[in-house]
Amino acid sequence: MKAQKQQRKHFSVIDQGTMVGFYPHSDEAKQFIEENVQAESWQWLGPILWVDHRMACDLYTGLQQAGLV
């Protein structure tokens, strides 16, 4: 039996309708947020970055291009 390589999960995305949460799990994910996202402190609830649904698509596209989702 061939062992399967397990992919590391970088983000969880939580769609709550008008707000979408991005939960970074890896150091790479946290670094991407620090370097590429201008977020206010009130957008962070614990470890999750919450953004308006109108901005979520652009953020998700950036994560895809960086190979994080």
> Whole-model pTM above 0.75?
yes
List b or e across 21-48, with b for residues whose CB sees 16 or more CB atoms inside 10 angstroms: bbbbeeeebeebbeeeeeeeeebeeeee
* 1-5, 10-14, 17-21: range with lowest mean pLDDT: 1-5
- Report pLDDT digits (tens) over 32-68: 999 999 999 999 999 999 999 999 999 999 999 999 9
Domain assignments of the chain as residue spans, ordered by start: 44-69
Average pLDDT score over residue span 17-35: 96
Task: Categorize the per-residue pLDDT at 1 as very low, low, confident or very high, splitting at 50, 70 and 90.
Answer: very low
Name every residue whose Cβ is closer than 8 Å to that of residue 28 and which is 6 or more positions away in sequence. 10, 68
